Structure 1
Amino acid sequence: MDIVLQIKEEYRKFTKSEKKVADYFIENYKDAINESIQSIAATTDTSPATVIRFVKALKFDGLQQLKLAIAADMDSQKPDITDEIIHPKDGLYEIVEKNKRNLVKSIEKLYALMDMDLIEKSIDAIDLAKKVYLFGVGASGIVCYDINYKLSRIGKDVVFNNDIHLQLVNLNFITKEDSCVCVSYSGNTKETVLVAEIAKKAGAKTVGICCYGKNELSKICDITLRVPHDERELRLGAISSRNTTLTLLDTIYLAITHRHYPEVLHDIEATRDLIKRLRD
């Protein structure tokens, strides 16, 4: 779907004020994914209600859905399947600068695309669960290892193992009182999809983390959180996807910590004291 083309085709149907918003999206669609309803209204000298009507006229449920469609269009326009973060002629300075820009751009896009309602539901799913099961393969497993460590430090009962066979054994004991967080950048990792299916069948609350677009994981999970689709099919390594997924889970972790701050502070201090004994 070409969103800009769709806007141009629908242009004559818009009201005078809606055409101002349409002009903004046609000329600034790349910047639009980082803007809010209020900022777009201010830029176009219209109102938030006008922006919402414009979005609805394009058959989108909300601005968030329109942003996702624009971002998907931008990705589909990339001609090459390989990463462009480095070039054979780059010096160290260029590599450092490119990596910095790539990181900042990915994180900004992540926050622009965040759905606060889904974030809140994910926080509840993890915080209220009797046990939290984590699953990810490869680079996604590294992300799970990180959040496993953090949640364990604040007293959460977390189940995680990189070995798929051991993870499947653990899933024999998952119940409707538990939650299962499944991480797969593509959303189509066979092992991760299988785990989500098993957890869902057991009645556990399932949270999927994947890139935007259609994929198997998002069809199964109760809650699907999206990260930007910034990496190509042939990539040098999971850099952007790892960073954005870590940031997303860090946000959830901080929100849970905030809910139980006095108790969490005590747990973290106790853990620090235990580790300190190893250094003495």
Structure 2
Amino acid sequence: MSCLVRIDNYRDSFTDSEKKIADYIVQNAESVVKLTIHELASETDVSPSTITRFVRRLNYKSFSEMRVELARSIDNSIVSDFNKVIQWSKTMDELSQCFISTITSVCEDVLNLNDLSKFEQATDWIKDSDIVYLFGVGASSLIVEDLQQKLMKLNKRCIFNIDSNFGVQNAVLTRENDVVFAVSYSGRTKEVNIAVRRAKKNGAKIVSITRYGRTPLSELSDLCIYVPNVEQSARLAAIFSRYAQMFIVDILFVNYAKRIENKPEQLLSEYRSLLGTLKE
């Protein structure tokens, strides 16, 4: 079990000081592996002995052991530069296997980070809502569009505009019986957070799909569905975080299909028939 997953699993048992340490590690994993125990204590404003107790609560023998495990987790999951990806192996077959292995690991981490009750709750809110509003820009807009298309195939009313300015304006239309899905890996996308803040003011329920940790978006959300911290903030492309987000979308889609009164296969058949008329 990776260090970050351990932190999530033990979070409920942490003291306030330990939660402060946990939040700092989750949000600054890359820099923590370079710190001494005294430097981490200084950064989190706790004593070195508190760090030691925190480490032992995670079932590590020492701070050094935890730091090594954290570094190993980062090495296994973080891809900060595309050149690093293509240098994974010398053959296409080996590269493909590295990709498959990492994608599998990322999807498993999604399930480790999120209790299944989160997906159940989000699905209930979709089912009971009048309209599903979706917000996401850049790479996140691909995730949002995928969720929109899947829900619309099952006759769920969805509103999304790839233009972030119109997205913010759409937030003005939200009401208490609506649910918002906001996608932002960093949790700090200005256009998304402005829209979410307005929707929350209007009484809409907020579901975010974002990286694990405390961010402006997670603070605004009623329900956070986390993806693992698999991309550095200075990454060239959102590679593996995209797979994690798509995995979440697929789980929501299947769960919603199981909840609706109409048979999903009938709705999907009608949808394909309608599209077929475009080819006539």
Q: Would you say 1:184 and 2:156 are equivalent positions?
A: no
CA-CA distance at 1:177 after TM superposition: 1.1
CA-CA distance at 1:262 after TM superposition: 3.6
Report if the CA contact (8 A) 2:209-2:226 is conserved: yes
In the alignment, the residues of structure 2 paired with residue 272 and residue 265 of structure 1 have an alpha-carbon distance, to the nearest angstrom, of: 10
Which residue is 2:2 aligned to?
30
Report if the CA contact (8 A) 1:33-1:70 is conserved: no
Q: Percent identity of the aligned residues?
A: 28
CA deviations 1:213-262 (Å, max 9, x no partner) are 11100111111111111112332411111111111121011111001264
Pair 32,95 (structure 1): closer, same or farther in 2 beyond 3 Å: same
Pair 98,180 (structure 1): closer, same or farther in 2 beyond 3 Å: same
Q: TM-score, normalised by structure 2?
A: 0.72
CA-CA distance at 1:88 after TM superposition: 8.0
Pair 106,173 (structure 1): closer, same or farther in 2 beyond 3 Å: same
Which residue is 1:82 aligned to?
80
In the alignment, the residues of structure 2 paired with residue 68 and residue 264 of structure 1 have an alpha-carbon distance, to the nearest angstrom, of: 41
Which residue is 2:119 aligned to?
119
SS where residue 85 of structure 2 aligns?
coil
Which residue is 1:25 aligned to?
none
- Computed over aligned residues only, the root mean square deviation of the Cα atoms, in angstroms, reads 3.0
SS where residue 134 of structure 1 aligns?
strand
Matching of residues 5-44 of structure 1 within 5 Å:
29-30=1-2, 33=5
Unaligned runs of 5+ in 2: 17-21, 34-70
Which residue is 1:103 aligned to?
103
SS where residue 225 of structure 2 aligns?
strand
The one-letter code sitting in structure 2 at the alignment partner of 1:150 is K
Which residue is 2:136 aligned to?
136
CA deviations 1:52-100 (Å, max 9, x no partner) are xx8866549xxxxxx9998778654348983443328733233222211
Which residue is 1:214 aligned to?
214
Pair 186,277 (structure 1): closer, same or farther in 2 beyond 3 Å: same
Pair 133,270 (structure 1): closer, same or farther in 2 beyond 3 Å: same
Unaligned runs of 5+ in 1: 1-28, 38-53, 61-66
CA-CA distance at 1:117 after TM superposition: 2.3
Which residue is 2:225 aligned to?
225
Bigger RCO of structures 1 and 2 (CA < 8 A, at least 6 apart): 2
CA deviations 1:175-212 (Å, max 9, x no partner) are 11111110000111111111110110011011111001
Q: TM-score, normalised by structure 1?
A: 0.72
SS where residue 85 of structure 1 aligns?
helix
Report if the CA contact (8 A) 2:168-2:194 is conserved: no
The one-letter code sitting in structure 2 at the alignment partner of 1:164 is S
Pair 55,240 (structure 1): closer, same or farther in 2 beyond 3 Å: closer
Pair 231,133 (structure 1): closer, same or farther in 2 beyond 3 Å: same
CA-CA distance at 1:171 after TM superposition: 2.0
Pair 32,178 (structure 1): closer, same or farther in 2 beyond 3 Å: closer
Report if the CA contact (8 A) 1:85-1:98 is conserved: no
Instruction: Decide which moves more: 87-96 or 255-264.
Output: 87-96
Which residue is 1:168 aligned to?
168
Instruction: Decide which moves more: 202-211 or 82-91.
Output: 82-91
CA-CA distance at 1:267 after TM superposition: 1.5
CA-CA distance at 1:168 after TM superposition: 2.1
In the alignment, the residues of structure 2 paired with residue 32 and residue 160 of structure 1 have an alpha-carbon distance, to the nearest angstrom, of: 33
Which residue is 1:22 aligned to?
none
Which residue is 2:201 aligned to?
201
Which residue is 1:7 aligned to?
none
Pair 263,57 (structure 1): closer, same or farther in 2 beyond 3 Å: closer
Report if the CA contact (8 A) 2:257-2:264 is conserved: yes
The one-letter code sitting in structure 2 at the alignment partner of 1:191 is E
SS where residue 208 of structure 2 aligns?
strand
In the alignment, the residues of structure 2 paired with residue 237 and residue 171 of structure 1 have an alpha-carbon distance, to the nearest angstrom, of: 28
Q: Would you say 1:148 and 2:148 are equivalent positions?
A: yes
Report if the CA contact (8 A) 1:181-1:208 is conserved: yes
CA-CA distance at 1:149 after TM superposition: 0.5
